[in-house]
Amino acid sequence: MTWECCWTKNEVSDEDCPLLGEGDQELRVSLRRRFVEKCLECPRFRNDLHKMDESGFPFAALLPTLVDEYLNQKAQLQSMLTFLDSRDREIKFLHELSVVLQTSMDLEEVLSVAMTAITAGKGFGMNRAFLLLTDKDRKSLKGFLGVGPRNYEEAWRIWEEVNENDLSLKEMARYFHNTKLLSEKMKFFDILEKLEVPLNETSHILIRALVDRKPILVENAFDNPQVDRGLTEILGVGSFLIMPLISRNRRIGVLIADNCITHKPITRQDLQSLETFAFPVAFAIERASLYERLQEELEKVTAANAKLQAQQELIVKMEKMALVGKITSNIAHSIRNPLMVIGGFARSLLKNAAADDPKREYLESIAVKAGELETVLDEVLAYSDAMHPAMDMWDLNQLVARVSEGLRESDKGAELSLDLAESLPTVFIDFKQITHCVRSAIAKIMELADTGEVRIKTWQDADNVVLEIVSQRPVSNRELISRAQELFFTADQAGAGLGVSLCKIILEQHGARFHFGESEQGGARCLIRLPIRKER
Amino acid sequence: MARILIIDDEASIRLLYSQELSEEGHEVAEAANAAEAAEKLAGGTFDLVVLDVKLKNESGLDLLQKIVKERHNIPVIICSAFSCYKDDFSAWLADGYVVKSGDMTELKEEIKRILEKRKGQ
């Protein structure tokens, strides 16, 4: 009998078998493989079986049934292999995804991974995705991030870019995080802004997905009465899926994904795959958010701790300063009494000494030096007092008037002219300390200009009360003006040289600005700017 | 002139005050502590008291309170090495406050001011 099919030949040529093609070289010489892979599906073999049956060949009538059953089983096996292969890829993908999600504490990184996974071809391959998160007050769902192309051209460009780079999911997510996160947010700003639903609006499909804890596959949205018309118009597609993100009974948010470019139907399998992915994403988002909040709290605690440490240091410093002040005060007391006796008796003896008494010069010297030491003591004690200001609201004009009166009555020859502004606001100061400053500044200016003619002026300038003290005569040695602010500098060796520098310290503690320099006419000038009603 | 009681624990300071104030024509008595001061005040009439804030183991301000309480008509001038007691409420009971100095001008003027004020009352 002549057979149409090549199933009896060990070796065949292309003419012998119509099903052989490129890459089937091995099948030409392998009868067993050719028979299983080609002959059983070949119409020529069917014809041969028919011939066999007609010729009364035993079992020939059963052979087509066996062949059909084999082919059917083979097709089923192939289908299962395809299914297993897709599941295998899905498991690998979910594993890769979960590793990233489990290890990341950065909310932006988690979101980048999640959104890339939904939209990447290597992931779930959806065209576009939106993430809505529950706000901090847990009152509404708000659009947070959108990913995907806005039109076909952009989609084409993105897909070409993805094909060229051939990145893994992790690499794609990192690339997205580093370069596209912000731009995607901006790109979908108009949509994200509109995507806001109060959590108590339980009839809304997004909230329903959250409440029921189940994903929803929306189809024919434009004609679906269960879908909010506003949402459909914002998305602009008729088919999309809604995936609730819930972690430990906590409503984290909702994912919306669609195929707005390809319009490929979303299957139940897509829904199931995304459902598997939703839980780790929700958990990762929650954990990253909590970590972010923890970081914020930690920063607050760290800042508070630093502040507390600074306060502690300040307290220790103040305690030390208070101790220094106490010691200074006690030393000053111990010195002042003998100094008073020395100076006092020297003056007393001087009064009774004859004009030509050779001891007169020595007594004068003792009296003067004792007086100078008393001045040093006054300054040291004033410095000690400066550590503990007693702040209150005071009228600067009143203070200036009182200081001026005291100086006029003293034997220092002060000829002060006052130009005090009316209705000057009160200032928050330690009256005693500022009195010391004003008195010291006037005394120093008189000393530098070698004149008692000093002009004192007050006025208000924005948020400050300003006090100006200027000598009416120029200072001959200008260098002394600039050196007057140096700590421990004395022009005449009288005093400790704390005068102007102490004023500066006191005024700085008051939050005031202090300037000691030269006037336009070459005189000595002091300018004090005290903040108005600025309590420390 | 006036009768003045000097209360100071340092003998040299009492001597200085006595000398200076006697030269001004005042009659001066001295006390080194609160007990002596009480004795002097009980035994005589004084026009003014010059009091140190810090006495040996005693507070001049406590003594001031006692003087004011028991002898309402005697003015007191506090003469101290410390200027800080000026802000102490107890020191406000005194009629004057002078920081100790070898130059006694301020003390003498304060005595003069207070005595004249008393005379005018």
Would residue A501 count as lying in a domain? yes
pTM of this prediction exceeds 0.90? no
CB contact under 8 A, A340 and B16: yes
**What confidence score (pLDDT) does residue A490 get?**
53
**What confidence score (pLDDT) does residue A89 get?**
77
ipTM of the complex: 0.84
CB contact under 8 A, B83 and A332: no
Q: Are strands A453-461 and A415-420 parallel, antiparallel or unpaired?
A: parallel
When CB atoms are compared, the residue of A333, A343, A371 closest to B82 is A333
Domain final residue pick, A249, A279, A295: A295
Answer yes or no: do A204 and A148 share one domain.
Answer: yes
When CB atoms are compared, the residue of A336, A351, A370 closest to B81 is A336
**What confidence score (pLDDT) does residue A494 get?**
45
Domain final residue pick, A273, A295, A317: A295
CB contact under 8 A, A339 and B54: no
Contacts of A370 in chain B (CB under 8 A): 102
Residues of chain A with pLDDT under 50: 487-488, 491, 493-496, 534-536
Residues in CB range of A465: below 8 A, 6 or more apart? A396, A424, A425, A427, A458, A459, A529, A530, A532
Would residue A464 count as lying in a domain? yes
Shortest Cα distance, chain A CAs vs residue B65, angstroms? 23
When CB atoms are compared, the residue of B16, B19, B84 closest to A385 is B84
Answer yes or no: do A50 and A101 share one domain.
Answer: no
Residues in CB range of A288: below 8 A, 6 or more apart? A104, A105, A106, A107, A109, A110
What is the total count of domains within chain A? 3
**What confidence score (pLDDT) does residue A488 get?**
47
Would residue A301 count as lying in a domain? no
**What confidence score (pLDDT) does residue A457 get?**
95
Answer yes or no: do A55 and A102 share one domain.
Answer: no
**What confidence score (pLDDT) does residue A502 get?**
76
On whether the CB atoms of residues A261 and A149 are closer than 8 A, the answer is yes
Question: What confidence category does residue B5 fall into, taking pLDDT thresholds of 50, 70 and 90?
Answer: very high
Backbone angles phi, psi at A30, to 5 degrees: -115, 100
Instruction: Give tens-digit pLDDT for A109-153.
Output: 888 888 888 888 777 889 999 999 998 888 899 999 999 988 888
**What confidence score (pLDDT) does residue A495 get?**
46
Instruction: Give tens-digit pLDDT for B71-117.
Output: 667 899 999 887 767 666 777 788 999 989 999 999 999 999 999 98
Domain B3-120 CATH class label: alpha beta
Answer yes or no: do A172 and A224 share one domain.
Answer: yes
Residue ranges of domains in chain B = 3-120
More confident residue, A227 or B70: A227
Residues in CB range of A194: below 8 A, 6 or more apart? A143, A230, A234
Residues spanned by the domain of A398? 389-531
Q: Is B3 helix (H, G, I), strand (E, B) or coil?
A: strand
On whether the CB atoms of residues A236 and A151 are closer than 8 A, the answer is no
Shortest Cα distance, chain B CAs vs residue A332, angstroms? 8
Would residue A521 count as lying in a domain? yes
Domain final residue pick, A295, A312, A343: A295
**What confidence score (pLDDT) does residue A137 get?**
82
Sheet of A216-218: strand order equals A196-198, A140-147, A128-134, A250-258, A240-247, A216-218
Answer yes or no: do A105 and A230 share one domain.
Answer: yes
Would you put residue A522 in left (φ > 0), alpha (ψ -120 to 50) or beta? Answer: left
Shortest Cα distance, chain B CAs vs residue A336, angstroms? 6
Q: Residue A446 sits in a domain of what CATH number?
A: 3.30.565.10
On whether the CB atoms of residues B61 and B90 are closer than 8 A, the answer is yes
Q: Residue A253 sits in a domain of what CATH number?
A: 3.30.450.40
Q: Scan for tokens 């006495």, then name that residue.
A: B55
CB contact under 8 A, B102 and A344: yes
β-bridge mates for residue A394, sequence order:
A427
Most B CBs within 10 A among A328, A329, A339, A340, hence the mutation to make, goes to A340
Instruction: Give tens-digit pLDDT for A254-304.
Output: 999 999 999 999 988 888 888 888 888 888 888 888 888 898 999 999 999
